[in-house]
Amino acid sequence: MQLRYKRATALAAAVLSLSLAAAACGSGGTGSSSSGGKTTINFWVRVDNPSVGLAKMFNATHKNIHVNVTVIPDAEYVTKLGAAVRGHSGPDVADFDDINAPLFAATHITENVTRQLNSLSFKKALNPAELNLAQYNGQYYAVPYINGSSVMMYNKGLFKEAGLNPDSPPATYAQILADAQKISKLGHGIEGFTIPGACGGCLVYTVWPLIWASGGQVFSAFGRNQTTTFAQYPQVAAALQLYRKLWTSGTVASADRSQNGSTWGATFMSGKEGILFGTPVDIPVATKQGVDVGSPRSPARTASPPRSSAATNSASSTARRTPRPTGSSSTGCCRSRPRPTWRPRGTWCRSAATCLPPPSSRSTRTSPWP
């Protein structure tokens, strides 16, 4: 697991370094500037993602290039980036949700980087699903950058306080509901679960993977004749029923109805929430604030054994793994002004919709999710 994480980080760093270096070599665009022999690259990034840290790594190893990072809230990103590029004031490199790659390509926000992408020595290591998203009219307008997992996180401290075993996370829908209800009864502003009610992308990122992990599907195979299949799978209804029960049982804060994703996860990171389905970048932030975060390390492949009691530290609890769906990200190129200079842009994606596992792997997986 650690080796895989390091390899993914190294690959992301390589893509970003290539993008930033290429932007620095451009012929002076509206975003970049040069002073005293040092080139400044303006880099727009989304909230709470690895791009900030990767930019710091780049600055530390490139003395003649400085990356100036600007954090843009998710809810404003698409509008601000489009307006800035059209006003010839866009950044040199942009970190955006890969699900927007086709939109930016079709509206001439990003540049054609087919030649540069095909020349990458590590092209075969790039995420094929993201590469599909990066294509428009047979050409590439983005490059895969960072893959992120949609994970279940839980507050071990609140589990213990509610009389639950902190080493035995919920592994079925029924257990999630029961545990969330017990935690909500603690009161004092503590909630058992959170739902980003006004953030469609956040819900896709967290709900759809539950459907896939249970053997269900939302769409048919990718292609020109792709159709929705949610009506054919009871797993879709089961996942939606879980969220409805969590809401109607009072385990979710009423403010979550209007949660647009801009502060999603903040309550969990502050120690006031029991269970969160979200992005793993929240884990180190929560840990720094004193939250003892639990998160299963691998998808469940077998049915769950009986749960251990709060008073028992059962070794068998490690066998119960919560499905860990994945999200993805891509790197694209943007037009600061209408000219052919290649200006790659980084990407961090929270959408799990592009990470559907192959049919063969899905058909052989047994999930504990009812």
**What does the pLDDT look like over 213-248, one tens digit per residue?**
888 888 887 667 878 888 888 989 999 999 999 999
Rounded mean pLDDT of 139-167? Answer: 90
- Whole-number pLDDT of residue 155: 97
Can you name the CATH fold of 2-148+328-354? D-Maltodextrin-Binding Protein; domain 2 (3.40.190)
What's the half-sphere exposure (Cβ side, CA atoms, 13 Å) at 3? Answer: 0
Residue scoring higher pLDDT (156 or 329): 156
Query: Please, are residues 93 and 342 in contact by the beta-carbon 8 Å criterion?
Result: no
Above 50 in pLDDT, residue 369?
A: no
pLDDT band of 330, cuts 50, 70, 90: low
Q: CB-based burial of residue 95 (10 Å sphere; 0-12 exposed, 13-18 middle, 19+ buried)?
A: buried
Above 50 in pLDDT, residue 139?
A: yes
Rounded mean pLDDT of 338-351? Answer: 30
pLDDT digits (tens, 9 = 90+) for 59-68: 999 888 899 9
Angle 234-248/173-184 helices, nearest 10 degrees? 10
Q: Name residue, tokens 């290539």.
A: 18
> Could you tell me the CA-to-CA distances from 7 to 2, 146, 331 in Å, in that order?
9, 11, 17
The pair of structure tokens assigned to 15 is 């893509």
Above 70 in pLDDT, residue 356?
A: no
DSSP state of 339: S
Residue 35 parent element (H or E): strand 33-35
Residue scoring higher pLDDT (213 or 192): 192
Above 80 in pLDDT, residue 27?
A: no
Above 90 in pLDDT, residue 318?
A: no
Above 80 in pLDDT, residue 266?
A: yes
Residue scoring higher pLDDT (352 or 11): 11
pLDDT digits (tens, 9 = 90+) for 87-129: 888 888 888 888 788 888 888 888 888 998 898 888 888 888 8
Return mean pLDDT, the chain. Answer: 74
The pair of structure tokens assigned to 137 is 């009219």
3-state DSSP call for residue 330? strand
From 170-174, 182-186, 362-366, the region with the lowest mean pLDDT: 362-366
- Whole-number pLDDT of residue 334: 55
Residue scoring higher pLDDT (304 or 346): 304
How many residues does this entry show for the chain? 370
Domain 151-325 carries which CATH code? Answer: 3.40.190.10
Rounded mean pLDDT of 71-83? Answer: 86
Rounded mean pLDDT of 297-302? Answer: 35
Rounded mean pLDDT of 266-286? Answer: 91
- Whole-number pLDDT of residue 319: 29
Range(s) within the chain of domains with CATH label 3.40.190.10: 2-148+328-354, 151-325
